């Protein structure tokens, strides 16, 4: 015979379990949100701020509503329907993304505004509905136990523990193994099943709930909601390889999140289609022409466009590549005509890997990791510049590309000032600059050896000429004395490129 005390204990445990799982589901959705939106707005500090802020806003409002409905006598039936509703709105996230993506991207909005619109449309309502659960079930729990402090403390602790477990599960296991859309569907189904358990004693409600969930799944599987724009989803990127229409022959590009990283020509590894990779390759070619040899470290592999070209031109070169994401390397080898057998590839952070190299190991170090607005700030600082200098041979060359806004390029100025702490000559390279404000990819060279001439004309491939714009870049807009020196303690790269977030230049 089940005693009232035993029944009450079982009920309290079930409430705690539901609170734990629903809290885990919300944090799973929060982690998945960044990956789901990456092909549309990238991943940056601003994107994460939008995700966290909007979900917390929805959760806060849901907590308040949960308290209100609990005070008005809501019971297990309300809890069941709330869980079912949370499952349905979660299941609708992928399909809703398909419906709104083109419309948002077609609007003249900033990257920050687009991020907020996406997150509001997709995740505010799920967060709100899930926010109702904890205060509602906590109130119900207090009706069957007089240990008020114990019940409230335990259930709140379970909510926090569920959030922690959901965060770790999503980041370490679910996203790398299952992909965003599968996770969202599974999360929605779990929430709906928990709701149905509450409705089992109400057959009509249970049948209606099952029908509603089935209809949601029908819409999802019948539409394009499960179509994943990524060829693969890694811990770091949404990775796509795209055939490029090109008048120069067969070529493919690698797209990481929402930006083309580089383009590889199928038949000629040295043929550079992307402007910035062409500039960097020509500068390397000037310093290390065909027939010479060089030890070169590449921070960032991506499409492996530059290491591939250098290996083809200088068969005796020693090439090391630090590419953080092994799935990026795998995609380059599989689909972008890359052979890494002549290279040493490290799947590690570039700064960590470079730090493991012996002093004066390299003739050149090339950094190509500043992916759109997602900038690894620890590769911009004076401490990193000092590491680069120590790993270069005397007179060695450091090349880096960075995206910034023309003409007042604050991040470029910050890098110039930072590199000047360690290198005698710092030059900034552009083709003929535009006549209006726009986003540009700059190439920066730094050396304690001979400077490049002020004009560099392509010796290979597409006819192009680059000019040393070091002086104009430093003299236009914000004075150099107002530009912060980038250090490990303070490297506000997002603030320096804030125009990309607050205007339509970032999309």
Q: What is the pLDDT of residues 302-318, one digit of tens each?
A: 999 999 999 999 999 99
Mean pLDDT, range 180-201, rounded to an integer = 94
Per-residue pLDDT reduced to its tens digit, 238-288 = 899 999 888 889 999 999 887 888 899 999 999 999 999 999 999 999 999
Q: Are residue 324 and residue 395 in the same domain, yes or no?
A: yes
Q: Are residue 81 and residue 169 in the same domain, yes or no?
A: yes
For residue 292, which phi and psi values (nearest 5 degrees)? Answer: -90, -175
Beta-carbon contacts of residue 380 (< 8 Å; ≥ 6 apart): 411, 414, 415, 418, 486, 491, 493
Residue 504: pLDDT over 70: no
Long-range CB contact pairs, 232-237, < 8 A, 24+: 232/327, 232/331, 233/35, 233/175, 233/176, 233/179, 233/180, 234/176, 234/325, 234/326, 234/327, 234/328, 235/175, 235/176, 235/325, 236/324, 236/325, 236/328, 237/38, 237/325, 237/327, 237/328
Q: In what helix (H) or strand (E) does residue 139 lie, and over which residues does it extend?
A: helix 111-142
Q: Where are the alpha helices (DSSP H) in 170-300?
A: 175-178, 180-199, 203-222, 275-287
Residue 222: pLDDT over 60: yes
- Nearest-angstrom CA–CA distance, 352 and 13: 47
How far from 301 is each of 75, 110, 373, CA to CA, in Å?
Answer: 56, 29, 18
SS3 68: helix
Mean pLDDT, range 444-454, rounded to an integer = 97
* 236 band by pLDDT with thresholds 50, 70 and 90: confident
Per-residue pLDDT reduced to its tens digit, 358-392 = 999 999 999 998 766 678 899 999 999 999 999 99
Supply the mean pLDDT for the chain.
91
Mean pLDDT, range 494-501, rounded to an integer = 80
Residue 446: pLDDT over 70: yes
- Nearest-angstrom CA–CA distance, 282 and 366: 13
Q: What is the dihedral of CA 13, 15, 17, 21, to 10 degrees?
A: 180
- Nearest-angstrom CA–CA distance, 476 and 136: 59
Residue 499: pLDDT over 80: no
Nearest residue to 441 via CA among 452, 456, 431: 431
What the block records as the tokens of 246 is 């090109």
Domain count, the chain: 2
- CA neighbours closer than 13 Å in the CB half-sphere of residue 324: 16
Residue 56 lies in a domain: yes
Nearest residue to 137 via CA among 207, 197, 51: 197
Residue 4, pLDDT score: 55
Q: Are residue 145 and residue 283 in the same domain, yes or no?
A: no
Q: Are residue 303 and residue 370 in the same domain, yes or no?
A: yes
CA pseudo-torsion sign 170, 173, 176, 179:
negative
Q: Are residue 184 and residue 327 in the same domain, yes or no?
A: no
Helices 203-222 and 93-105 cross at an angle (nearest 10°) of 40
Residue 111 lies in a domain: yes
Residue 43, pLDDT score: 77
Percent residues over pLDDT 90 in the chain: 70
Residue 264 lies in a domain: no
Residue 257 lies in a domain: no
Residue 371, pLDDT score: 66
Residue 244 lies in a domain: no
- Nearest-angstrom CA–CA distance, 27 and 167: 6
Q: What is the pTM of this model?
A: 0.85
* 66 band by pLDDT with thresholds 50, 70 and 90: very high
Q: Are residue 280 and residue 202 in the same domain, yes or no?
A: no
Whether residue 137 has a cis bond before it, omega within 30° of 0? no
- Nearest-angstrom CA–CA distance, 429 and 500: 20
Residue 45: pLDDT over 80: no
* 1 band by pLDDT with thresholds 50, 70 and 90: very low
With b meaning 16 or more CB within 10 Å and e meaning fewer, what string describes 123-150? bbbbbbbbbbbbbbbbbbbeeeeeeeee
* 437 band by pLDDT with thresholds 50, 70 and 90: confident
Residue 238 lies in a domain: no
Look up the CATH number of the domain holding residue 319: 3.40.50.150
Residue 5, pLDDT score: 72
- Nearest-angstrom CA–CA distance, 483 and 121: 37
- CA neighbours closer than 13 Å in the CB half-sphere of residue 117: 19
Residue 473: pLDDT over 50: yes
Look up the CATH number of the domain holding residue 214: 1.20.1250
Higher per-residue pLDDT: 146 or 337: 337
* 220 band by pLDDT with thresholds 50, 70 and 90: confident
Per-residue pLDDT reduced to its tens digit, 88-136 = 999 999 999 989 988 888 888 887 888 899 999 999 999 999 999 999 9
Q: Are residue 400 and residue 289 in the same domain, yes or no?
A: yes
Q: Are residue 85 and residue 169 in the same domain, yes or no?
A: yes
Residue 169, pLDDT score: 93
What the block records as the tokens of 283 is 């500068």
Residue 257, pLDDT score: 84
Mean pLDDT, range 137-160, rounded to an integer = 90
Question: For the chain, how big is the Rg over CA atoms in Å?
Answer: 27
How far from 67 is each of 134, 136, 426, CA to CA, in Å?
Answer: 9, 6, 61
For residue 265, which phi and psi values (nearest 5 degrees)? Answer: -80, 135
Residue 51 lies in a domain: yes
Q: Residue 476: which domain range?
A: 274-506
* 2 band by pLDDT with thresholds 50, 70 and 90: very low
Q: Are residue 153 and residue 208 in the same domain, yes or no?
A: yes
* 204 band by pLDDT with thresholds 50, 70 and 90: very high
Q: Are residue 292 and residue 223 in the same domain, yes or no?
A: no
Residue 261 lies in a domain: no
Domain boundary among 170, 205, 229: 229
Residue 332: pLDDT over 90: yes
Q: Are residue 300 and residue 177 in the same domain, yes or no?
A: no
């Amino acid at each position: 015979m089940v005693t009232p005390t035993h029944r009450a204990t079982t009920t309290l445990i079930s409430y705690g379990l539901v609170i734990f799982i629903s809290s885990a589901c919300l944090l799973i959705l929060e982690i998945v949100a960044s990956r789901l939106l990456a092909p549309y707005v990238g991943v940056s500090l601003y994107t994460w701020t939008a995700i966290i802020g909007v979900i917390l806003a929805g959760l806060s409002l849901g907590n308040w509503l949960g308290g209100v409905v609990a005070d008005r006598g809501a019971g297990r039936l309300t809890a069941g329907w709330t869980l079912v509703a949370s499952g349905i709105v979660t299941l609708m996230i992928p399909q809703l993304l398909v419906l709104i993506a083109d419309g948002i991207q077609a609007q003249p909005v900033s990257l920050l505004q687009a991020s907020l619109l996406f997150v509001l449309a997709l995740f505010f309502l799920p967060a709100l509905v899930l926010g109702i659960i904890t205060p509602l079930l906590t109130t119900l729990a207090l009706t069957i136990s007089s240990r008020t402090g114990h019940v409230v403390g335990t259930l709140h602790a379970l909510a926090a523990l569920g959030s922690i477990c959901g965060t770790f599960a999503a980041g370490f296991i679910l996203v790398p193994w299952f992909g965003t859309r599968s996770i969202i569907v599974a999360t929605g189904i779990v929430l709906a099943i928990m709701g149905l358990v509450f409705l089992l004693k109400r057959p009509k409600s249970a049948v209606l709930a099952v029908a509603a969930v089935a209809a949601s799944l029908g819409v999802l599987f019948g539409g394009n909601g499960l179509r994943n724009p990524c060829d693969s989803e890694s811990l770091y990127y949404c990775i796509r390889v795209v055939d490029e229409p090109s008048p120069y022959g067969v070529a493919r590009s690698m797209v990481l999140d929402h930006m083309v990283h580089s383009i590889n020509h199928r038949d000629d590894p040295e043929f550079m289609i992307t402007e910035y990779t062409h500039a960097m390759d020509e500068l390397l070619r000037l310093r290390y022409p065909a027939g010479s040899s060089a030890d070169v470290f590449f921070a960032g592999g991506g499409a492996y466009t530059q290491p591939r070209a250098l290996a083809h031109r200088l068969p005796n070169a020693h090439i090391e590549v630090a590419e953080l994401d092994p799935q990026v390397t795998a995609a380059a080898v599989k689909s972008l005509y890359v052979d890494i057998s002549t290279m040493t590839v490290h799947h590690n952070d570039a700064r960590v890997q470079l730090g493991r190299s012996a002093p004066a190991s390299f003739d050149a170090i090339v950094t190509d990791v500043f992916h759109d607005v997602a900038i690894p700030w620890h590769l911009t600082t004076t401490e990193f510049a000092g590491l680069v200098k120590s790993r270069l041979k005397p007179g060695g060359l450091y090349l880096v590309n960075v995206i910034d806004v023309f003409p007042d390029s604050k991040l470029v100025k910050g890098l110039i000032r930072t590199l000047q702490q360690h290198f005698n000559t710092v030059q900034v390279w552009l083709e003929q600059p535009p006549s209006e404000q726009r986003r540009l990819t700059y190439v920066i060279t730094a050396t304690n050896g001979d400077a490049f001439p002020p004009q560099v004309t392509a010796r290979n491939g597409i006819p192009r000429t680059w000019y040393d714009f070091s002086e104009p870049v430093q003299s236009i807009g914000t004075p150099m004395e107002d530009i912060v020196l980038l250090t490990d303690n303070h490297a506000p790269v997002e603030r320096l490129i804030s125009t990309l977030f607050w205007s339509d230049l970032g999309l």
